[in-house]
Amino acid sequence: MESCNEAVVVQALTYQYHASGPFILRDIGFRIDRGEVVVITGLSGCGKSTLCLCISGLIHHHRNGVISGKIILNGKDTRGMRGPALALEVGMVFQDPDTQLFSPAVEDEIAFAPENLCLPPEQIQERVNNVIDTLGLAALRHANPYYLSGGEKHLVALAAVLALDPPVLILDEVLSQLDSLGKKRVIATLEILRDKGKTIIAVEHNLEALAFADRFMVLEAGKLIRFDRTEKILADQDFLMTRRLV
Amino acid sequence: MFLELRQVGFSYPQKTSPAVIGINLSLKKSGITAIVGPNGSGKSTLTKLMLGILPASEGQIYLEGRNITEYSLAEAGRRIGYVSQNPDLQLFCASVAEEIAFGLVNQGCDVATLEERVNFYLDYFELAAYRKSFPLHLSQGEKQRLAIAAVLANEPEYLILDEPTNGLDAYRKRLLEEYLHKVAELGRGILLVSHDIAFVDRMAERIIALANGQIQSDSNQRGEGYLCY
């Protein structure tokens, strides 16, 4: 029985994209409480994005790799959950926003998920307006996402996930293409969401960018090598240097 | 002058305001220049105009004195190596090694040089373990390193790198910086587009700030004027 305060529980998670391929994740296990902000970091190729895809349930249902272990979101095992049920528990912003934007206008993109949850029109409109205001997207409301810049696309992808209002939010390097104003807006939004009890998991290479996080998780070659309080990790320069993270 | 832009403007279809407007800019064949600016300010559009990927709606662009419209994309591509913001858009070979070799093979490079260069770039960008891997199965940071390696292997006269530090960890970012400094020391020019202000500050000797599709400042002073971006 998992504690009711745990938003994400991962047990003995191992994953290969192909049966004959290398292990991308090896025996990963951790627990994240509700309302926690956790940063996942590590050298590129260490398995950060794959871990995010596993937590979001996408690996279980949309990839043909070899997975073992267990992922529990808010007390529910993701193996038994399908798309709509997963969408109510977790929302993910991918590293490449082009892979998740498809609507002809920004406001349609943001409204898409709430519409598919069959929310009343006035509630959909309220959610769309709220995230547009929060992320400063008013000028792009009617723009075609295809023609936006990389940073703008990332903001729209984030807005579309925020409109779902999931209890667990996964962000895969969303800050990397944002200008300083965009970064400030996103960080301020994450702090508000944290205060509202949302659980946030963010992949980030810039260790100082999300220094307000509660804990940092460090992956190396598919293994979880450290999961500790933010201040402890950031103060441990020997560890960061040895692992080539700074 | 290597690249010269005169009163260049461009508008995307279905957009009411132009993406870039009235750009006058000259770039020498050497040195490291950076373009900075807020999201949507026209940085990537400007680089695509310089390469002839997008046709200017207004004004003229000259590459080594010839109008860019007189070049085929292949001719412009032989002079200017370009790494786009999204590496997925430029990786297409069946393996990592083939991706690095592609440009060299098409230039008629001899086998010994080809092997030497491919091995060098695989080693330098720590991609040797993925030599036979399908490029689109790599992580985003690995794809970024591969896209950069594939362009550098061609040793173009000039490089345009759009957000080259995206997806790179601190260690790989340092490797890239060291390599780009070496390229610049060889007298080849580099144009960087980046939001990574610390990276820009360490790399660029000239910084051009764009806002709303127009040049706001063009300075040799680091740490001034552009930090707000």
Across the interface, whether the CB atoms of A177 and B40 are under 8 A apart is answered: no
How many other CB atoms are there within 10 angstroms of residue A4's CB atom? 8
- Looking up tokens 């070979």, which residue turns up? B93
B140-152 vs B111-124: helix axis angle to the nearest 10? 140
- pLDDT value for A214: 98
In sequence order, what are the residues at sequence separation of 6 or more whose Cβ sits closer than 8 angstroms to the Cβ of residue A207? A39, A41, A216, A233, A234, A240, A245, A246
pLDDT tens-digit series, residues A148-183: 988 999 999 999 999 999 999 999 999 988 998 899
Residue B194 tokens, joined: 């980046």
End-to-end CA distance of chain A: 39
Residues in chain A closer than 8 A to B15 (CB atoms): 143, 147
Q: What is the pLDDT of residues A74-119, one digit of tens each?
A: 999 998 888 888 999 999 999 889 989 999 999 999 999 999 989 9
The mean pLDDT of A38-43, rounded to a whole number, is 97
First CA to last CA across chain B, in angstroms? Answer: 28
What would the two tokens of residue A174 be?
């969303």
The three-state secondary structure class of B182 is helix
Q: Encode pLDDT of A213-226 as tens digits.
A: 999 999 999 999 99
Torsion angle defined by CA atoms of residues B163, B168, B174 and B178, in that order, rounded to the nearest 10 degrees: -50
> What's the confidence (pLDDT) of residue A1?
47
pLDDT digits (tens, 9 = 90+) for A19-36: 888 899 999 999 999 999
Closest Cβ opposite residue B140 in set A96, A151, A245 = A96
Q: What is the DSSP string of A73-132?
A: ETTEEGGG--HHHHHHHEEEE-SSGGGT---SSHHHHHHHHHHHTT--HHHHHHHHHHHH
The pLDDT assigned to B218 comes to 94
pLDDT of residue A176: 87
- pLDDT in the model for residue B36: 95
Alpha-carbon Rg for chain B in angstroms:
17
Does B197 contact A at CB distance below 8 Å? yes
- For residue A61, pLDDT over 50 is answered with yes
Q: What is the pLDDT of residue B226?
A: 56
Q: How many CB pairs under 8 A join A and B?
A: 92
Distance of alpha carbon A25 from alpha carbon A27, whole angstroms: 7
> What pLDDT shows up at residue A31?
98
Task: Evaluate if residue A138 carries a pLDDT over 60.
Answer: yes
Amino acid letter, B139 = S
Contact A216, A227 (CB under 8 A): yes
Low-confidence ranges of chain B (pLDDT < 70): 222-229
Q: Do A150 and B12 touch (CB under 8 A)?
A: no
Residue of B nearest to A96 (CA): B86
Residue A18 confidence (pLDDT): 87
Measured between CA atoms, how close is B131 to chain A, in angstroms? 14
**Which residues of chain B lie closer than 8 angstroms to A43, CB-CB?**
141, 169, 171-172
Q: Which of B85, B137, B142 sits opposite A17 (nearest CB)?
A: B137
A79 phi, psi to nearest 5 deg: -65, -25
Measure the CA–CA gap between A55 and B223, rounded to whole angstroms: 40
Interface confidence (ipTM) of the complex: 0.83
Q: For residue A147, list chain B residues with Cβ-Cβ distance below 8 A.
A: 12-15
Q: A155 and B138 in contact by Cβ < 8 A?
A: no
Interface list for B 130-149 with A (CB within 8 A): 137-142, 144-145
Sheet with strand B66-67: strands edge to edge: B20-27, B3-10, B58-63, B66-67
* d(CA A45, nearest CA chain B) in Å: 5
**pLDDT for position A177:** 87
The single residue listed with the structure tokens 């002079």 is B79
Q: What is the pLDDT of residues B33-52, one digit of tens each?
A: 999 999 999 999 999 999 99
Range A180-219 burial, b when 16+ CB lie within 10 A, else e = eebbebbbebbeebbeeebbbbbbbbbbebbeebbbbbbb
Q: Which residues of B touch A44 (CB under 8 A)?
A: 139-142, 144-145, 167-169, 172
pLDDT (mean) for A50-72: 89
